């Protein structure tokens, strides 16, 4: 489990604090990862996110509640750097989908946190033909 510790300590180091007259505001990398992952999975063409498992290098498809594990956040004095690990739908134009994600994540993060986003990297870790969850009610004709 060493990688988990590494992971945690790395995230601890990268806190982002604002100081105001009455105290500080801190946006943790975890919060940033949540915002970024929400923006990502709502993007068109994305059907899932993958965890970057450092231990064995195998990616796993994440459940909706844990998608923020599919985001790496690095913060330094210049701004935020983000790595996203995504699964896209079969048959979409991947460069375009990736580009849309970058724009959407950047815009959402900057709007919500006021921090500047320096870099967003989109890693496409898989392609899936998504099953339909429920048939459309007007299916039969």
Partner 1 sequence: MMRVENIDSDLLIKLFEYATYELKKHREEIDLLNVFPVPDGDTGTNMLYTLQSTLDEIRKVKNKTIRTIAEAAIKGSLMGARGNSGVILSQIIRGFCEVMRENEYIDAKVWIKSWQNATRVAYRAVIKPTEGTILTVLREGVKEGVIASRETNDITLIMERMLNKAKESLANTPNLLPILKEAKVVDAGGQGLVWIWTGFYEVLRGIEIFIEKPMKEKEEKIEVKERPEKEVLESYVITYQYCTEFIINSSENTDFSGFKKWLESQGDSIVTSEAPGLLKIHIHTNHPGLVLEKALELGSLSRIKIDNMAEQHEERLKEEINRDSITPLKEIGFVAVSWGEGINEIFKGLGVDIIVNGGQTLNPSVEVLSNAVEKVRAKKVFVLPNNKNVILAAKQLENIHKERVVIILTKHVLEGIRALYEYNPRDTWEILKEKMEKSIEKIKIGEITRAVKDSSYNGLKIEEGDIIGLTNDEVKVAGKNIETVCLDLLSLLVDGDSEVISVFYGKDVSKEEAEKLVNKLNNQYPSLSIELLYGGQPYYFYYLGVE
Restricted to residues 5-64, the positions that interact with partner 1 (CB under 8 A) are 41-48, 64
Q: Which is nearer to partner 1, 34 or 100 (CB)?
A: 100
- Burial track 101-119 (b if 16+ CB lie within 10 A, e otherwise): bbebbbebbeeebeeebee
Closer by beta carbon to partner 1, 57 or else 91: 91
State the minimum distance, in angstroms, from the CB of residue 6 to partner 1: 30
Q: What is the distance between the alpha carbons of residues 87 and 48, in angstroms, rounded to a whole number?
A: 5
Query: In angstroms, rounded to a whole number, what is the distance separating the alpha carbons of residues 94 and 113?
Result: 28
Q: How far is the CB of 90 from partner 1 (least distance, A)?
A: 8
Stretch in the footprint of partner 1 (CB under 8 A) among 3-11, 23-31, 50-58, 93-101:
93-101
Q: Among residues 4 and 127, whose Cβ is nearest to partner 1?
A: 127
- Cα–Cα distance for residue pair 27/66, rounded to 1 Å: 19
Is the alpha carbon torsion for 63, 65, 69, 70 positive or negative? positive
Q: Given the rule CB under 8 A, which residues bind partner 1?
A: 41-48, 64, 78, 89, 91-93, 95-100, 103-104, 107, 116, 129-130, 132, 136, 138-139, 141
């Amino acid at each position: 489990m060493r990688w988990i510790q590494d992971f945690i300590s790395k995230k601890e180091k990268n806190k982002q604090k604002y100081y105001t007259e009455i105290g500080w505001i801190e946006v943790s990398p975890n919060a940033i990862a949540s915002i970024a992952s929400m923006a990502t999975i709502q993007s068109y063409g994305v059907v899932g996110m993958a965890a970057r498992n450092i231990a064995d290098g195998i990616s796993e498809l994440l459940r909706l509640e844990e998608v923020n594990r599919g985001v790496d956040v690095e913060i330094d004095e210049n701004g935020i750097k983000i790595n996203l690990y995504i699964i896209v739908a079969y048959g979409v134009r991947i460069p375009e989908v990736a580009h849309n994600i970058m724009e959407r994540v950047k815009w959402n993060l900057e709007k919500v946190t006021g921090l500047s986003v320096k870099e967003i990297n989109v890693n496409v870790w898989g392609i899936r033909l998504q099953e339909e969850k429920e048939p459309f009610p007007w299916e039969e004709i």
